[in-house]
Amino acid sequence: MTNDLMIDGIRVFIDDTACVYEKSVQYLFPKTKKRRIQKKWAKRSSNFRAKTFHRMFKLSDGIIVSQKTFETLKTYDSTTIHQQSCQKNYARERGASAIQSAGQSEHPGAKDQ
């Protein structure tokens, strides 16, 4: 582990050897839905390409991340995340109230009958 840093009170260890791995992923698929043809395409190595994945490990005293994940985490702080969640909640509540008010305006005298 190369670095020992802190983000929002959480200890962060940066280690690319443990957190970055490559996996072969199929990116070309046949147009047909037949299982027999899909199996043949899955056996052909030219339909695959290597994709890099970044993972994170949780420890009792912190987390282990890759350098790329750490750079992404540095851009977020707790106030930004809190503001984004508040905006989503407000939009969700506002959307629900707009639907309710639209339903009431369509049938204004429904309760009187």
Q: Is the pLDDT of residue 28 over 80?
A: yes
Q: Report d(CA 45, CA 93) in Å as an integer.
A: 50
Question: Could you read off the pLDDT of 36-75 as tens digits, one per residue?
Answer: 999 998 999 999 999 999 888 888 888 888 888 888 877 7
Q: Is the pLDDT of residue 105 over 60?
A: no
Is 55 in contact with 21 (CB distance < 8 Å)?
A: yes
Q: Report d(CA 63, CA 10) in Å as an integer.
A: 8
Q: Would you kindly state where each structural domain of the chain is located, as residue ranges? A: 3-101
Query: Which tokens belong to 59?
Result: 């420890």
What pLDDT, on the 0 to 100 scale, is given for residue 80? 64
Q: Other CB atoms closer than 10 Å to residue 14's CB: what's the count?
A: 20
Residue type, 36: R
Confidence of residue 87 (pLDDT cuts 50, 70, 90): confident
What pLDDT, on the 0 to 100 scale, is given for residue 113? 47
